[in-house]
C-alpha cells in the first residue's frame, strides 16, 4: 500500500504520548516549558500528548534534547510494570557478598526484572576519611537506613551526619559523598537506589 495509507500504530503512539507527558510531569514542567526546551511550539506538543499528531523524526530529536536524553532512551519500550511477581531472600547479608574498597554489598532480589529501584544490604568498613579516597558520585537517588553500627555520612556542602540504627538518609547520589563506619566495627545498612 502507498506510504500515506499505512495503518497508524495507535498503541505505540499512545505509549509515546503517555511517556512524554509522564516525563514532563515528573520534572514539574508545563507544556510551554518543555516546548521551550525542545525548541518548537507548545501547540505541537499538546497535539502529540493528546494523540492528535504523530511526531516527526526531527520533533523526536528535539524532544529528546529537551529532556536531556538521547533519542533511543525516549522511544525505547519500557519494561512492564511489576505484576504478580515476588522474590523471597532468606538469610540476606550472609556469605561473602561483593567486596569493594570501602564496603561490602549484598544485592537483594537480584533476579527480579523490571524494578523501579535496586535494594541491597551494604556494610561500610572504612573508618578513616583520609583513607577513603575520592568521594562517590553517581546518577541515582539513594536511601540508606542504618541496621547496625553507626554511620558517618560525609557529603559536599553539608556537615558530617552521624546516624544510628533506625536512622535513614535520603539523598541525591550525584552529590559527592562518602559513607564510613563511625563505630568500632562495620556499619550495616539497607541501601535502596534508583536511576535518576
Asked if residue 48 lies in contact with residue 55, where contact means CB atoms within 8 angstroms, the answer is yes
Residue 138, Ramachandran bin (φ over 0: left; ψ between -120 and 50: alpha; else beta):
beta
What residues are paired with 180 via a beta bridge? 152
- Nearest CA among 134, 178, 142 for reference residue 160: 178
What residues are paired with 148 via a beta bridge? 188
**Average confidence (pLDDT) over 50-77:** 86
Q: What would the grid cell of residue 31 be? A: 507544556
Res 93 pLDDT > 70:
no
More reliable by pLDDT, 105 or 26: 105
What residues are paired with 123 via a beta bridge? 104, 188
What confidence score (pLDDT) does residue 42 get?
Answer: 92
Q: What would the grid cell of residue 182 be? A: 563511625
Class of domain 8-75: mainly alpha
More reliable by pLDDT, 25 or 78: 25
Q: What would the grid cell of residue 23 be? A: 516525563
- What would the pLDDT profile of 30-40 be if each residue is shown by its tens digit? 899 999 999 99
Res 14 pLDDT > 90:
no
Among all chains, which residue has been given the C-alpha cell 558520585? Answer: 137
User: What sign does the dihedral 45-47-48-53 (CA atoms) show?
Assistant: negative
Q: Which fold has domain 98-195?
A: Jelly Rolls (2.60.120)
**Average confidence (pLDDT) over 76-92:** 68
Within the chain, all domains assigned CATH 2.60.120.10 are found at 98-195
More reliable by pLDDT, 25 or 102: 102
Res 111 pLDDT > 90:
no
Q: What percent of the chain is predicted at pLDDT more than 70?
A: 87
Within the chain, all domains assigned CATH 1.10.260.40 are found at 8-75
Q: What would the grid cell of residue 6 be? A: 499505512
Q: What percent of the chain is predicted at pLDDT more than 90?
A: 46
- What would the pLDDT profile of 140-189 be if each residue is shown by its tens digit? 899 999 999 999 999 998 999 999 999 999 999 999 999 999 988 999 99
Amino acid at each position: 500500500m502507498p506510504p500515506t495509507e499505512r495503518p497508524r500504530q495507535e498503541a505505540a503512539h499512545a505509549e509515546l504520548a503517555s511517556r512524554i507527558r509522564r516525563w514532563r510531569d515528573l520534572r514539574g514542567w508545563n507544556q510551554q516549558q518543555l516546548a521551550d526546551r525542545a525548541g518548537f511550539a507548545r501547540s505541537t506538543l499538546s497535539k502529540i500528548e493528546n494523540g492528535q499528531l504523530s511526531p516527526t523524526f526531527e520533533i523526536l530529536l528535539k524532544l529528546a534534547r529537551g529532556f536531556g536524553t538521547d533519542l533511543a532512551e525516549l522511544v525505547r519500550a519500557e519494561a512492564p510494570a511489576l505484576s504478580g511477581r515476588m522474590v523471597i531472600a532468606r538469610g540476606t547479608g550472609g556469605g561473602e557478598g561483593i567486596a569493594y574498597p570501602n564496603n561490602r554489598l549484598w544485592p537483594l532480589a537480584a533476579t527480579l526484572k523490571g524494578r523501579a529501584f535496586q535494594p541491597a544490604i551494604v556494610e561500610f568498613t572504612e573508618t578513616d576519611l583520609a583513607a577513603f579516597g575520592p568521594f562517590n558520585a553517581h546518577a541515582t537517588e539513594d536511601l540508606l537506613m542504618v541496621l547496625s553500627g553507626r554511620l558517618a555520612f560525609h557529603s559536599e556542602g553539608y556537615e558530617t551526619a552521624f546516624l544510628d540504627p533506625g536512622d535513614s538518609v535520603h539523598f541525591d547520589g550525584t552529590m559527592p559523598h562518602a559513607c564510613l563506619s563511625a563505630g568500632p566495627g562495620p556499619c550495616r545498612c539497607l541501601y535502596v537506589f534508583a536511576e535518576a
